[in-house]
Structure 1
Protein backbone atom coordinates (compact mmCIF):
# COMPACT_ATOMS: atom_id res chain seq x y z
CA UNK A 1 0.00 0.00 0.00
CA UNK A 2 2.81 2.40 0.90
CA UNK A 3 4.56 1.56 -2.39
CA UNK A 4 1.39 2.30 -4.37
CA UNK A 5 0.92 5.64 -2.57
CA UNK A 6 4.44 6.72 -3.46
CA UNK A 7 3.93 5.68 -7.07
CA UNK A 8 0.73 7.72 -7.34
CA UNK A 9 2.46 10.76 -5.82
CA UNK A 10 5.36 10.47 -8.27
CA UNK A 11 2.97 10.11 -11.19
CA UNK A 12 1.07 13.24 -10.22
CA UNK A 13 4.33 15.20 -9.88
CA UNK A 14 5.56 14.05 -13.30
CA UNK A 15 2.28 14.73 -15.12
CA UNK A 16 1.99 18.09 -16.90
CA UNK A 17 -0.27 20.68 -15.31
CA UNK A 18 -3.58 20.87 -17.12
CA UNK A 19 -5.24 23.80 -15.37
CA UNK A 20 -5.80 27.38 -16.49
CA UNK A 21 -2.79 28.80 -18.40
CA UNK A 22 -0.74 31.40 -16.54
CA UNK A 23 -0.42 34.91 -17.94
CA UNK A 24 2.32 35.20 -20.58
CA UNK A 25 4.53 38.22 -19.77
CA UNK A 26 7.43 37.39 -22.08
CA UNK A 27 6.65 40.33 -24.39
CA UNK A 28 6.72 42.72 -21.42
CA UNK A 29 10.15 41.49 -20.29
CA UNK A 30 11.54 41.42 -23.82
CA UNK A 31 10.57 45.04 -24.49
CA UNK A 32 11.55 46.24 -21.01
CA UNK A 33 15.04 44.77 -21.31
CA UNK A 34 15.37 46.18 -24.83
CA UNK A 35 14.67 49.65 -23.45
CA UNK A 36 17.03 49.21 -20.49
CA UNK A 37 20.14 48.06 -22.36
CA UNK A 38 21.45 51.45 -23.59
CA UNK A 39 20.41 53.38 -20.46
CA UNK A 40 23.37 52.87 -18.09
CA UNK A 41 26.15 54.04 -20.40
CA UNK A 42 23.94 56.77 -21.85
CA UNK A 43 23.20 58.06 -18.35
CA UNK A 44 26.89 57.98 -17.48
CA UNK A 45 27.70 59.87 -20.70
CA UNK A 46 25.28 62.62 -19.65
CA UNK A 47 26.77 62.59 -16.15
CA UNK A 48 30.25 63.25 -17.51
CA UNK A 49 29.10 65.77 -20.10
CA UNK A 50 26.97 67.92 -17.77
CA UNK A 51 29.23 67.92 -14.73
CA UNK A 52 30.24 71.58 -14.06
CA UNK A 53 33.91 70.79 -14.49
CA UNK A 54 36.53 68.07 -14.24
CA UNK A 55 37.56 67.14 -10.71
CA UNK A 56 41.23 66.85 -11.51
CA UNK A 57 43.35 66.54 -8.41
CA UNK A 58 42.46 65.78 -4.83
CA UNK A 59 39.19 65.95 -2.93
CA UNK A 60 39.72 69.64 -2.20
CA UNK A 61 39.51 70.31 -5.95
CA UNK A 62 36.29 68.28 -6.09
CA UNK A 63 34.84 70.39 -3.28
CA UNK A 64 35.66 73.59 -5.15
CA UNK A 65 34.14 72.24 -8.37
CA UNK A 66 30.93 71.13 -6.64
CA UNK A 67 30.68 74.46 -4.79
CA UNK A 68 30.46 76.21 -8.17
CA UNK A 69 27.43 74.18 -9.28
CA UNK A 70 25.68 72.50 -6.37
CA UNK A 71 22.30 72.45 -8.10
CA UNK A 72 23.68 70.77 -11.21
CA UNK A 73 25.70 68.23 -9.25
CA UNK A 74 22.66 67.44 -7.10
CA UNK A 75 20.47 66.85 -10.15
CA UNK A 76 23.14 64.69 -11.75
CA UNK A 77 23.04 62.31 -8.78
CA UNK A 78 19.64 61.17 -10.12
CA UNK A 79 21.25 60.56 -13.50
CA UNK A 80 23.94 58.56 -11.72
CA UNK A 81 21.20 56.56 -10.01
CA UNK A 82 19.86 55.53 -13.43
CA UNK A 83 23.35 54.28 -14.30
CA UNK A 84 23.64 52.29 -11.07
CA UNK A 85 20.15 50.78 -11.20
CA UNK A 86 20.23 49.71 -14.86
CA UNK A 87 23.86 48.59 -15.22
CA UNK A 88 23.41 45.03 -13.92
CA UNK A 89 20.21 44.16 -15.84
CA UNK A 90 21.64 45.70 -19.03
CA UNK A 91 24.83 43.67 -18.71
CA UNK A 92 22.87 40.48 -18.07
CA UNK A 93 20.74 41.24 -21.13
CA UNK A 94 23.74 41.55 -23.45
CA UNK A 95 25.12 38.25 -22.17
CA UNK A 96 21.70 36.54 -22.43
CA UNK A 97 21.18 37.68 -26.02
CA UNK A 98 24.66 36.65 -27.17
CA UNK A 99 24.92 33.40 -25.22
CA UNK A 100 23.67 31.05 -27.96
CA UNK A 101 25.87 32.36 -30.75
CA UNK A 102 28.98 32.92 -28.61
CA UNK A 103 28.53 31.00 -25.35
CA UNK A 104 32.11 31.13 -24.06
CA UNK A 105 32.68 34.79 -24.89
CA UNK A 106 29.33 35.77 -23.39
CA UNK A 107 30.03 33.78 -20.22
CA UNK A 108 33.53 35.21 -19.75
CA UNK A 109 32.34 38.74 -20.44
CA UNK A 110 29.39 38.42 -18.07
CA UNK A 111 31.50 37.00 -15.24
CA UNK A 112 34.14 39.74 -15.47
CA UNK A 113 31.68 42.58 -16.04
CA UNK A 114 29.25 41.58 -13.30
CA UNK A 115 32.08 40.96 -10.83
CA UNK A 116 33.43 44.46 -11.44
CA UNK A 117 30.06 46.20 -11.51
CA UNK A 118 28.87 44.57 -8.30
CA UNK A 119 32.16 45.45 -6.61
CA UNK A 120 31.71 49.10 -7.60
CA UNK A 121 29.02 49.40 -4.92
CA UNK A 122 31.91 49.51 -2.43
CA UNK A 123 33.51 52.56 -4.07
CA UNK A 124 32.89 56.07 -2.64
CA UNK A 125 31.07 58.69 -4.70
CA UNK A 126 33.32 61.76 -4.37
CA UNK A 127 30.76 64.09 -5.93
CA UNK A 128 28.04 63.01 -3.50
CA UNK A 129 30.38 63.24 -0.49
CA UNK A 130 31.40 66.75 -1.55
CA UNK A 131 27.79 67.77 -2.17
CA UNK A 132 26.62 66.60 1.27
CA UNK A 133 29.62 68.26 2.90
CA UNK A 134 28.69 71.61 1.38
CA UNK A 135 24.92 71.31 1.86
CA UNK A 136 25.21 70.32 5.53
CA UNK A 137 28.07 72.69 6.33
CA UNK A 138 30.36 69.88 7.41
CA UNK A 139 34.02 70.46 8.15
CA UNK A 140 35.96 70.35 4.87
CA UNK A 141 39.09 69.02 6.50
CA UNK A 142 37.23 66.14 8.14
CA UNK A 143 35.42 65.31 4.86
CA UNK A 144 38.72 65.34 2.96
CA UNK A 145 40.32 63.04 5.53
CA UNK A 146 37.33 60.68 5.34
CA UNK A 147 37.44 60.56 1.54
CA UNK A 148 41.17 59.85 1.53
CA UNK A 149 40.75 57.13 4.18
CA UNK A 150 37.97 55.48 2.19
CA UNK A 151 40.02 55.33 -1.01
CA UNK A 152 43.02 53.99 0.92
CA UNK A 153 40.97 51.15 2.39
CA UNK A 154 42.08 47.77 0.95
CA UNK A 155 38.50 46.70 0.21
CA UNK A 156 37.91 49.87 -1.83
CA UNK A 157 41.24 49.40 -3.60
CA UNK A 158 40.28 45.84 -4.57
CA UNK A 159 36.84 47.01 -5.70
CA UNK A 160 38.44 49.70 -7.86
CA UNK A 161 40.63 47.13 -9.56
CA UNK A 162 37.67 44.85 -10.23
CA UNK A 163 35.65 47.80 -11.54
CA UNK A 164 38.34 48.69 -14.09
CA UNK A 165 38.62 45.02 -15.09
CA UNK A 166 34.87 44.71 -15.63
CA UNK A 167 34.61 48.04 -17.43
CA UNK A 168 37.45 47.37 -19.86
CA UNK A 169 37.97 43.64 -20.38
CA UNK A 170 34.46 42.51 -19.42
CA UNK A 171 32.61 44.91 -21.71
CA UNK A 172 35.07 44.23 -24.53
CA UNK A 173 34.34 40.50 -24.28
CA UNK A 174 30.59 41.14 -24.25
CA UNK A 175 31.00 43.31 -27.33
CA UNK A 176 32.93 40.53 -29.03
CA UNK A 177 30.22 38.04 -28.05
CA UNK A 178 27.51 40.30 -29.46
CA UNK A 179 29.49 40.64 -32.69
CA UNK A 180 30.24 36.92 -33.02
CA UNK A 181 26.67 35.88 -32.23
CA UNK A 182 25.29 37.80 -35.25
CA UNK A 183 22.04 38.55 -33.41
CA UNK A 184 22.47 42.30 -33.98
CA UNK A 185 24.27 44.43 -36.57
CA UNK A 186 27.98 43.61 -36.37
CA UNK A 187 29.00 47.25 -36.00
CA UNK A 188 27.04 47.53 -32.74
CA UNK A 189 28.99 44.67 -31.19
CA UNK A 190 32.23 46.23 -32.45
CA UNK A 191 31.21 49.60 -30.94
CA UNK A 192 30.85 48.01 -27.50
CA UNK A 193 34.04 46.01 -27.98
CA UNK A 194 36.00 49.20 -28.72
CA UNK A 195 34.30 51.58 -26.29
CA UNK A 196 34.59 49.23 -23.31
CA UNK A 197 38.38 49.29 -22.92
CA UNK A 198 39.02 52.77 -24.33
CA UNK A 199 36.48 55.25 -22.95
CA UNK A 200 37.91 55.44 -19.38
CA UNK A 201 41.18 56.71 -20.84
CA UNK A 202 39.84 59.30 -23.31
CA UNK A 203 40.87 62.72 -21.96
CA UNK A 204 38.36 65.49 -21.31
CA UNK A 205 34.71 65.49 -20.37
CA UNK A 206 33.48 65.58 -23.96
CA UNK A 207 35.82 62.77 -25.02
CA UNK A 208 34.83 60.58 -22.09
CA UNK A 209 31.12 61.25 -22.69
CA UNK A 210 31.53 60.44 -26.40
CA UNK A 211 33.20 57.13 -25.58
CA UNK A 212 30.38 56.21 -23.21
CA UNK A 213 27.79 57.15 -25.86
CA UNK A 214 29.48 54.79 -28.33
CA UNK A 215 29.33 52.06 -25.68
CA UNK A 216 25.62 52.79 -25.14
CA UNK A 217 25.00 52.32 -28.87
CA UNK A 218 26.86 49.02 -28.67
CA UNK A 219 24.80 47.78 -25.74
CA UNK A 220 21.66 48.83 -27.61
CA UNK A 221 22.53 46.05 -30.06
CA UNK A 222 21.15 43.61 -27.51
CA UNK A 223 17.93 45.61 -27.46
CA UNK A 224 17.72 45.45 -31.24
CA UNK A 225 18.12 41.67 -31.04
CA UNK A 226 15.36 41.42 -28.42
CA UNK A 227 12.94 43.44 -30.52
CA UNK A 228 13.63 41.18 -33.49
CA UNK A 229 12.97 38.03 -31.49
CA UNK A 230 9.73 36.16 -31.14
CA UNK A 231 8.67 35.39 -27.60
CA UNK A 232 9.40 31.69 -28.13
CA UNK A 233 13.00 32.57 -29.04
CA UNK A 234 13.33 34.77 -25.96
CA UNK A 235 12.21 32.27 -23.33
CA UNK A 236 10.04 29.24 -22.65
CA UNK A 237 6.30 29.89 -22.37
CA UNK A 238 4.66 29.93 -18.93
CA UNK A 239 3.18 26.78 -17.51
CA UNK A 240 -0.33 26.18 -16.32
CA UNK A 241 -1.84 26.57 -12.91
CA UNK A 242 -2.14 23.13 -11.36
CA UNK A 243 -5.64 21.91 -10.60
CA UNK A 244 -6.34 20.70 -7.09
Structure 2
Protein backbone atom coordinates (compact mmCIF):
# COMPACT_ATOMS: atom_id res chain seq x y z
CA UNK A 1 0.00 0.00 0.00
CA UNK A 2 1.40 3.40 -1.01
CA UNK A 3 1.14 6.27 1.40
CA UNK A 4 0.72 9.75 -0.15
CA UNK A 5 2.31 12.57 1.75
CA UNK A 6 0.05 15.65 1.61
CA UNK A 7 1.59 18.75 0.07
CA UNK A 8 1.86 21.57 2.55
CA UNK A 9 0.99 25.16 1.70
CA UNK A 10 4.59 26.23 2.31
CA UNK A 11 5.91 23.84 -0.35
CA UNK A 12 4.12 25.83 -3.03
CA UNK A 13 4.63 29.25 -1.48
CA UNK A 14 6.67 31.44 -3.83
CA UNK A 15 6.05 34.69 -2.01
CA UNK A 16 9.54 34.73 -0.53
CA UNK A 17 11.10 34.60 -3.98
CA UNK A 18 8.66 37.16 -5.37
CA UNK A 19 9.49 39.58 -2.56
CA UNK A 20 13.18 39.32 -3.38
CA UNK A 21 12.46 39.77 -7.09
CA UNK A 22 10.36 42.86 -6.40
CA UNK A 23 12.99 44.37 -4.11
CA UNK A 24 15.72 43.87 -6.70
CA UNK A 25 13.70 45.19 -9.63
CA UNK A 26 12.27 48.27 -7.90
CA UNK A 27 15.21 50.70 -8.22
CA UNK A 28 16.54 49.44 -11.57
CA UNK A 29 14.12 51.26 -13.88
CA UNK A 30 14.33 54.71 -12.27
CA UNK A 31 18.12 54.36 -11.95
CA UNK A 32 18.38 53.43 -15.64
CA UNK A 33 16.33 56.47 -16.66
CA UNK A 34 18.38 58.69 -14.33
CA UNK A 35 21.59 57.73 -16.14
CA UNK A 36 19.79 57.89 -19.50
CA UNK A 37 18.69 61.47 -18.87
CA UNK A 38 22.22 62.41 -17.84
CA UNK A 39 24.00 60.97 -20.91
CA UNK A 40 21.29 61.90 -23.43
CA UNK A 41 23.17 63.84 -26.13
CA UNK A 42 20.32 66.25 -26.85
CA UNK A 43 17.88 68.32 -24.79
CA UNK A 44 14.18 67.48 -24.67
CA UNK A 45 13.33 70.98 -25.92
CA UNK A 46 15.66 70.80 -28.96
CA UNK A 47 14.13 70.92 -32.43
CA UNK A 48 14.56 67.94 -34.75
CA UNK A 49 17.54 69.36 -36.64
CA UNK A 50 19.43 70.07 -33.41
CA UNK A 51 18.60 66.65 -32.01
CA UNK A 52 19.86 64.93 -35.15
CA UNK A 53 23.09 66.91 -35.22
CA UNK A 54 23.81 66.04 -31.58
CA UNK A 55 23.06 62.34 -32.11
CA UNK A 56 25.28 62.23 -35.20
CA UNK A 57 28.07 63.80 -33.13
CA UNK A 58 27.68 61.30 -30.25
CA UNK A 59 26.46 57.90 -31.51
CA UNK A 60 28.14 56.05 -28.62
CA UNK A 61 26.18 58.01 -26.02
CA UNK A 62 22.99 57.46 -28.00
CA UNK A 63 23.66 53.72 -28.07
CA UNK A 64 23.96 53.76 -24.27
CA UNK A 65 20.67 55.67 -24.08
CA UNK A 66 18.96 52.93 -26.09
CA UNK A 67 20.29 50.16 -23.84
CA UNK A 68 19.20 52.05 -20.74
CA UNK A 69 15.78 52.68 -22.28
CA UNK A 70 15.43 48.97 -22.98
CA UNK A 71 16.20 48.17 -19.32
CA UNK A 72 13.70 50.80 -18.16
CA UNK A 73 10.90 49.47 -20.37
CA UNK A 74 11.40 45.98 -18.91
CA UNK A 75 11.49 47.04 -15.25
CA UNK A 76 9.38 50.16 -14.67
CA UNK A 77 5.96 48.50 -14.95
CA UNK A 78 6.70 45.61 -12.54
CA UNK A 79 8.28 48.15 -10.18
CA UNK A 80 5.17 50.32 -10.13
CA UNK A 81 2.99 47.24 -9.63
CA UNK A 82 5.16 46.11 -6.71
CA UNK A 83 4.78 49.47 -4.98
CA UNK A 84 1.05 49.26 -5.56
CA UNK A 85 0.94 45.85 -3.87
CA UNK A 86 2.10 47.37 -0.58
CA UNK A 87 -0.01 50.54 -0.71
CA UNK A 88 -3.32 49.24 -2.04
CA UNK A 89 -4.57 47.78 1.26
CA UNK A 90 -4.49 51.11 3.09
CA UNK A 91 -4.90 53.46 0.10
CA UNK A 92 -6.78 51.42 -2.54
CA UNK A 93 -8.31 54.26 -4.56
CA UNK A 94 -5.19 56.40 -4.62
CA UNK A 95 -3.11 53.39 -5.62
CA UNK A 96 -5.55 52.46 -8.37
CA UNK A 97 -5.49 55.95 -9.90
CA UNK A 98 -1.70 56.11 -9.63
CA UNK A 99 -1.26 52.79 -11.44
CA UNK A 100 -3.86 53.68 -14.09
CA UNK A 101 -1.64 56.65 -14.92
CA UNK A 102 1.77 55.05 -14.41
CA UNK A 103 1.41 51.76 -16.27
CA UNK A 104 0.18 53.23 -19.61
CA UNK A 105 2.77 55.99 -19.20
CA UNK A 106 5.62 53.56 -18.69
CA UNK A 107 4.42 51.33 -21.54
CA UNK A 108 4.45 54.38 -23.82
CA UNK A 109 8.17 54.78 -23.16
CA UNK A 110 8.81 51.89 -25.52
CA UNK A 111 7.13 53.83 -28.32
CA UNK A 112 9.24 56.90 -27.58
CA UNK A 113 12.53 55.00 -27.62
CA UNK A 114 11.62 53.90 -31.15
CA UNK A 115 12.32 57.46 -32.29
CA UNK A 116 15.71 57.43 -30.58
CA UNK A 117 16.41 54.06 -32.21
CA UNK A 118 15.63 55.62 -35.57
CA UNK A 119 17.93 58.59 -34.96
CA UNK A 120 20.81 56.33 -33.91
CA UNK A 121 20.23 53.96 -36.84
CA UNK A 122 20.27 56.84 -39.32
CA UNK A 123 23.50 58.19 -37.86
CA UNK A 124 25.07 54.71 -37.78
CA UNK A 125 24.14 54.12 -41.42
CA UNK A 126 25.79 57.40 -42.43
CA UNK A 127 22.60 59.00 -43.64
CA UNK A 128 22.57 62.70 -44.37
CA UNK A 129 21.53 64.73 -41.32
CA UNK A 130 18.95 66.58 -43.40
CA UNK A 131 17.34 63.32 -44.48
CA UNK A 132 17.23 62.02 -40.91
CA UNK A 133 15.63 65.29 -39.80
CA UNK A 134 12.95 65.11 -42.48
CA UNK A 135 12.08 61.57 -41.50
CA UNK A 136 12.05 62.49 -37.81
CA UNK A 137 9.59 65.28 -38.57
CA UNK A 138 7.39 62.78 -40.43
CA UNK A 139 7.00 60.38 -37.49
CA UNK A 140 3.59 58.74 -37.12
CA UNK A 141 1.12 60.75 -34.96
CA UNK A 142 0.98 57.88 -32.47
CA UNK A 143 4.43 58.97 -31.30
CA UNK A 144 3.00 62.30 -30.17
CA UNK A 145 0.13 60.53 -28.40
CA UNK A 146 2.63 58.23 -26.68
CA UNK A 147 4.54 61.32 -25.55
CA UNK A 148 1.43 62.74 -23.89
CA UNK A 149 0.67 59.41 -22.19
CA UNK A 150 4.24 59.16 -20.93
CA UNK A 151 4.56 62.71 -19.62
CA UNK A 152 1.18 62.86 -17.87
CA UNK A 153 1.28 59.25 -16.77
CA UNK A 154 4.70 59.10 -15.19
CA UNK A 155 4.71 62.59 -13.67
CA UNK A 156 1.22 62.57 -12.13
CA UNK A 157 1.26 58.84 -11.44
CA UNK A 158 4.56 58.99 -9.54
CA UNK A 159 3.34 61.92 -7.45
CA UNK A 160 0.18 60.02 -6.51
CA UNK A 161 2.09 56.84 -5.77
CA UNK A 162 4.43 58.83 -3.53
CA UNK A 163 1.43 60.30 -1.70
CA UNK A 164 0.12 56.74 -1.23
CA UNK A 165 3.47 55.79 0.31
CA UNK A 166 3.27 58.85 2.58
CA UNK A 167 -0.26 58.02 3.75
CA UNK A 168 0.30 54.32 4.29
CA UNK A 169 3.72 54.79 5.94
CA UNK A 170 5.07 51.76 4.14
CA UNK A 171 8.43 53.55 4.14
CA UNK A 172 9.95 56.44 6.06
CA UNK A 173 8.55 59.86 5.25
CA UNK A 174 11.81 60.93 3.57
CA UNK A 175 11.52 58.05 1.08
CA UNK A 176 7.90 58.89 0.26
CA UNK A 177 8.86 62.54 -0.17
CA UNK A 178 11.72 61.56 -2.49
CA UNK A 179 9.22 59.76 -4.74
CA UNK A 180 6.74 62.66 -4.62
CA UNK A 181 9.23 65.35 -5.68
CA UNK A 182 11.26 63.24 -8.11
CA UNK A 183 9.16 63.76 -11.21
CA UNK A 184 8.41 67.49 -10.73
CA UNK A 185 12.20 67.91 -10.53
CA UNK A 186 12.57 65.85 -13.71
CA UNK A 187 9.93 67.96 -15.48
CA UNK A 188 11.72 71.17 -14.54
CA UNK A 189 15.08 69.76 -15.64
CA UNK A 190 13.76 68.33 -18.92
CA UNK A 191 11.32 71.00 -20.08
CA UNK A 192 11.99 74.30 -18.31
CA UNK A 193 15.74 74.70 -17.79
CA UNK A 194 17.24 71.70 -19.70
CA UNK A 195 19.64 70.62 -16.96
CA UNK A 196 20.87 67.03 -17.28
CA UNK A 197 22.58 66.78 -13.85
CA UNK A 198 19.37 67.97 -12.21
CA UNK A 199 17.45 65.39 -14.24
CA UNK A 200 19.82 62.72 -12.95
CA UNK A 201 19.07 63.92 -9.43
CA UNK A 202 15.29 63.86 -9.95
CA UNK A 203 15.11 60.32 -11.31
CA UNK A 204 17.76 59.31 -8.79
CA UNK A 205 15.41 60.36 -5.99
CA UNK A 206 12.75 58.02 -7.37
CA UNK A 207 15.32 55.21 -7.53
CA UNK A 208 16.26 55.81 -3.88
CA UNK A 209 12.61 55.96 -2.82
CA UNK A 210 11.81 52.75 -4.70
CA UNK A 211 14.86 51.07 -3.17
CA UNK A 212 13.45 51.97 0.26
CA UNK A 213 10.17 50.32 -0.73
CA UNK A 214 12.13 47.25 -1.78
CA UNK A 215 13.81 47.11 1.63
CA UNK A 216 10.40 47.41 3.30
CA UNK A 217 9.11 44.54 1.14
CA UNK A 218 12.02 42.33 2.20
CA UNK A 219 11.10 42.89 5.84
CA UNK A 220 7.47 41.87 5.28
CA UNK A 221 6.34 38.41 6.37
CA UNK A 222 5.00 36.33 3.52
CA UNK A 223 1.40 36.61 4.74
CA UNK A 224 1.60 40.39 4.34
CA UNK A 225 2.78 40.11 0.73
CA UNK A 226 -0.58 39.36 -0.89
Q: TM-score, normalised by structure 2?
A: 0.86
Q: Which protein is bigger by CA-based radius of gyration?
A: 1
Aligned to 1:169: 156
1:213 aligned residue (173, 185, 204): 204
Q: Determine the C-alpha separation between the residues in 1 that align with 2:210 and 2:50.
A: 33
Secondary structure, aligned partner of 1:150: coil
Q: Determine the C-alpha separation between the residues in 2 that align with 1:53 and 1:156.
A: 18
Unaligned runs of 5+ in 2: none
Distance 1:121-1:82 versus aligned 2 partners, 3 A rule: closer
CA drift of 1:166 comes to 1.0
Distance 1:168-1:52 versus aligned 2 partners, 3 A rule: closer
Contact 2:185 2:199 in 1 (8 A): no
Aligned to 2:182: 195
Aligned to 2:60: 71
Contact 2:15 2:225 in 1 (8 A): yes
- The count of corresponding residues between Structure 1 and Structure 2 is 216
Aligned to 1:94: 83
Q: Deviations over 1:26-81 (max 9, x none)?
A: 11110111111111111111112223454652222222212222223213321221
Q: Determine the C-alpha separation between the residues in 1 that align with 2:68 and 2:113.
A: 17
CA RMSD of aligned residues (A): 2.0
Q: Deviations over 1:121-172 (max 9, x none)?
A: 3335443222110111234333222211216x1x332222221111211110
1:43 aligned residue (18, 32, 42): 32
Aligned to 1:141: 130
Q: Determine the C-alpha separation between the residues in 2 that align with 1:124 and 1:71.
A: 16
Q: Within 5 Å, which residues of 2 pair with 1:122-133?
A: 122-123=111-112, 125-133=114-122
Contact 1:62 1:126 in 2 (8 A): no
* Structure 1 residue ranges (4+ consecutive) displaced by more than 4 angstroms after TM superposition: none
Distance 1:67-1:55 versus aligned 2 partners, 3 A rule: farther
The answer to whether 1:180 aligns with 2:175 is no
